[in-house]
A and B are shown apart, each in its own frame.
Chain A
Amino acid sequence: MNAPSPRKLRVATTSLAGCFGCHMSFLDIDEHLFELVELVEFDRSPLTDIKDVGPCDIGLIEGGVCNAENVHVLRAFRRNCKTLIALGACAVNGGLPAQRNHLPLSECMREVYQFRPGIANGQIPNDPELPLPLDKVRPVHEVVRVDYFLPGCPPSGPAIWKFLTDLISGRTPRLSGGLLHYD
């Protein structure tokens, strides 16, 4: 008798204050993508263009939290994902965007939108549709509970593949030796 094939795991991914480099690195698992789609199906992700996250097994968060929209998306991911993973340096410790943290936000905005060379009568954007920036950029674990962390800028394709295969097959994900990098 044929055993029913196991339900595919549902995976959502997003990039908050990130550069999509971690998503690009995710694509660097290359031909493993064929194996992966046998095991998982994608929910909200730049790969599917689904806009809202639904109930999922695994959520991958790239990037730190720099504005109000990031907070909403991150909380929605936490509500819907059984296992939430901080993917990459920015999600883990704020990364490059967090290097503005020692500057007052207003000074940053003025520098970019008013005082940058070549700008005349520049104004800080104030369209109500724009999400409000936070005074400091935060790593995701300072906003919601995070189950696993996968550091690296970006984590390499092999590191992402090792991590996901560990997780999907029920092992505690472990990165050691050459797969663990912060840079």
Chain B
Amino acid sequence: MSGKQFLLDGQPVSFEEGQSILEAARKAGHYIPSLCWHKDFPAHGSCKLCVVKAAGRHVSACATPAREGWEVESNTPEMNGERRGLLQMLFVEGNHFCPSCEKSGNCELQALGYEYEMLTPRFRHFYPERPVDASHPDILLDFNRCIFCELCVRASRDVDGKSVFALTGRGIDKHLVVNAESGRLADTDFSKDDLAAHICPVGVILHKGPGFAVPIGERSYDGASIREKKLREEEAS
């Protein structure tokens, strides 16, 4: 430990040189939310849920190295209100119908909605058209719920060595595609054992079969908040 510290919501947090605000905070037992961040991958900085105010500026906590003496605001009504706004935008951009989603109760987007007490998506819904891909024998792709975190893209490319997924299009037309001439998952070498098959924080990449084997009400975030769960995982690692 280098002995360097910054202040997170008034609490001193130690960090090592080069460590991000998010990593240092989680290690010290403080929760900063995230969707696109994963401890095994470089910061992506796209979901912006980890937004904090550091030295008076808005920054992504996952992509900003901590600095000695910084004052960082995270768990404040202002920052949490902005996070709620980001969640609301994510909800209206896709087709997020929790009652009919197999991921409900295990979904990080939904769990963050609970954490930040999002009662309404507030904005006008886009209701985009995103056909599902059920071609693969073991995996169903429901693009309606994609939040463009690129975790599957990164896992498939950097760990599985297959580059099965990619994002294409820009702005409102951005969408997840499958790297096959036909565009179908069945025409790739994707396997249900790939890391990419287990990394989706929402309900896009679903394993066929389990369905509702664990009933609604007994799932990951039905009993514990995402804050408690993520901090417990951090402690165990």
Chain A residues in the interface with B (C-beta under 8 A): 86, 89, 92-96, 98-99, 101-102, 136, 138-139, 141-142, 146, 148-151, 153, 174-178, 180-183
Contacts and interface: CB of A to CB of B under 8 A. Distances in A.
A99 B124 contact: no
Contacts of A146: 120
A95 B99 contact: yes
A93 B121 contact: yes
B114 interface: yes
B46 to A, nearest CB: 23
B236 interface: no
A87 to B, nearest CB: 11
A42 B125 CA distance: 32
Interface string B36-61: 00000000000000000000000000
Interface residues of B, number: 27
A99 B119 contact: no
Contacts of B128: 102
Nearest to A180: B114
Given A102-B129, A176-B117, A182-B104, A153 B99 contact: yes
Contacts of B99: 89, 95-96, 153, 182-183
A19 B99 CA distance: 13
Contacts of A93: 91, 96-97, 120-121, 125
Contacts of B222: 178
A156 to B, nearest CB: 10
Interface in B76-119: 91, 95-101, 104-105, 110, 113-114, 117, 119
Contacts of A98: 97, 125, 127
Contact of B97 (A99, A148, A176, A180): A99
A136 B127 contact: yes
Given A93-B120, A151-B120, 14 more contacts: A89-B99, A96-B100, A98-B97, A98-B127, A101-B127, A138-B125, A139-B125, A141-B120, A176-B117, A177-B225, A178-B222, A180-B117, A182-B114, A183-B101
A89 B98 contact: yes
Contacts of B91: 93
Contacts of A94: 125, 127
Interface in B193-229: 216, 222, 225
A148 B125 CA distance: 18
A92 B120 contact: yes
B122 interface: yes
Contacts of A183: 98-99, 101, 104-105, 110, 216
B129 A89 contact: no
Nearest to B223: A178
A177 B225 CA distance: 8
A149 B117 CA distance: 11
Given A141-B122, A151-B119, A182-B110, A89 B127 contact: no
Contacts of B129: 102
Nearest to B100: A96
A94 B127 CA distance: 10
Contact of B124 (A102, A142, A149, A153): A142
28 contacts: A89-B99, A92-B119, A93-B120, A95-B99, A96-B99, A96-B100, A98-B97, A99-B95, A101-B127, A102-B95, A141-B122, A142-B124, A142-B125, A146-B120, A151-B119, A151-B120, A174-B117, A175-B119, A177-B225, A180-B114, A180-B119, A181-B114, A182-B98, A182-B104, A182-B110, A182-B114, A183-B101, A183-B105
A182 to B, nearest CB: 4
A58 B139 CA distance: 46
Nearest to B216: A183
B198 to A, nearest CB: 22
